[in-house]
A and B are shown apart, each in its own frame.
Chain A
Amino acid sequence: MLNAEVSAHGTTSNIKHRASNIFWRILGLIIAGIFIYAGAIKALDPVQFASDIDNYKILPWPISVALAFYLPWLEIFCGFALVVRWLYRGALSILTALILVFTLATIAAKVRGLDITCGCFGHASQNWSFPAHLATNVAILSALMALWFQSAAKRSATTAG
């Protein structure tokens, strides 16, 4: 039979559903990959990341240090959660919150005229411009929200069916 094509949520083997499932799965993997990569880059140099967070001049230094050690791992774990589909919605929520906070902080920094060289990808993205950063964040945020709604739709479909 066509069991091989059945997704984790046990939907039908209809071709359109399969293609749609594969699309969402790939999108999820791309987003997961982005966060795992971003988290790994920052986890490798938490000292630099603490300094980058401090540049936003929003948080006191000790908090910047604590976040510099903690946030990258949160990104990595949530990324993996998306990949293995365990704690999926929890991971989506956390990543969405992270991106939102981060985007607001970037806008605030821009408004205050601060020169921010840190992006989602740590010091590696220091040569990006503000519009590029903003566009990237918005794209990631949209993807996360799309994944969330797709997951919610799936859940109500399975609970209804």
Chain B
Amino acid sequence: MRSSLVRQVLILLALALAPGVGEAVYFRHRISWQSAVLPSELVTVDQARTWGGNVIWVDARPDEEFASDHVPGALSLNEDQWNELLPQFLAVWSPGKKVAVYCSSLSCNASREVARRLRREAQLPDVFVLEGGWEAWLKKNR
């Protein structure tokens, strides 16, 4: 009787493998097995620099931080004033442009949230989060 139970369990475990593997293949571009953040969502300062004038920089930090210093030409877009700032951002966007969103550093969450809303609500393609944020940009540019 025991062995038949083990056999049943093994059969079920094996059965579930097929669709599991199938999904893993189907979703292979939407998830990275290495890191928790989708690689195609992140961009480094150097990579963004190669986009030249085709990139729109978005500062997801609060007003005061943006006012004190920001990436030249960057637009402020944060969740506190989303409704007011979004149309201003959209006025600058056009198809083909790449968007790089940053907040203060590697650990802040605001840039991911703003990027997510741009992708999901405004359905914009090519929206990226700057790896390392403002800190990383400062290191490379100042």
The chain A residues found within 8 Å of chain B, CB to CB, are 43, 46-47, 50-51, 54, 61-62, 65-66, 69-70, 72-74, 76-78, 81, 87-91, 93-94, 155
Closest 8 CB pairs of A and B: A90-B8, A70-B20, A74-B16, A73-B16, A87-B8, A90-B9, A69-B24, A73-B19
Contact (Cβ within 8 A) A87 B23: no
Please tell me the number of chain B residues within 8 Å of chain A, measured between CB atoms.
Answer: 24
Residue pair A77, B12 in contact (C-beta under 8 Å): yes
Q: Is the CB of B31 within 8 A of A93?
A: no
Shortest CB–CB separation between residue A9 and chain B, in angstroms? 15
Q: What residues of chain B have their CB less than 8 Å away from a CB belonging to chain A?
A: 1, 5, 7-13, 15-17, 19-21, 23-24, 27, 30-31, 33-36
Residues of chain B with a CB closer than 8 A to A46's CB: 23-24, 27, 31
Bound-state Cα–Cα, A65 to B32, Å:
9
A104–B16 Cα distance when bound, in Å, is 23
Residues of A within 8 A of B23 (CB): 43, 46, 69, 73
Q: Is the CB of A65 within 8 A of B20?
A: no
Q: A63 — nearest CB in chain B belongs to which residue?
A: B33
In the complex, what distance in Å separates the CA atom of A89 from the CA atom of B2? 11
* Residues in B neighbouring A54, C-beta threshold 8 A: 36
Determine whether the beta carbon of A93 is less than 8 Å from that of B21. no
Q: By the criterion CB–CB under 8 Å, are A94 and B30 in contact?
A: no
Provide the residues of chain B in CB contact with A90, threshold 8 Å.
5, 7-12
Q: Which of A51, A77, A93, A94 is within 8 Å of B36, CB to CB?
A: A51
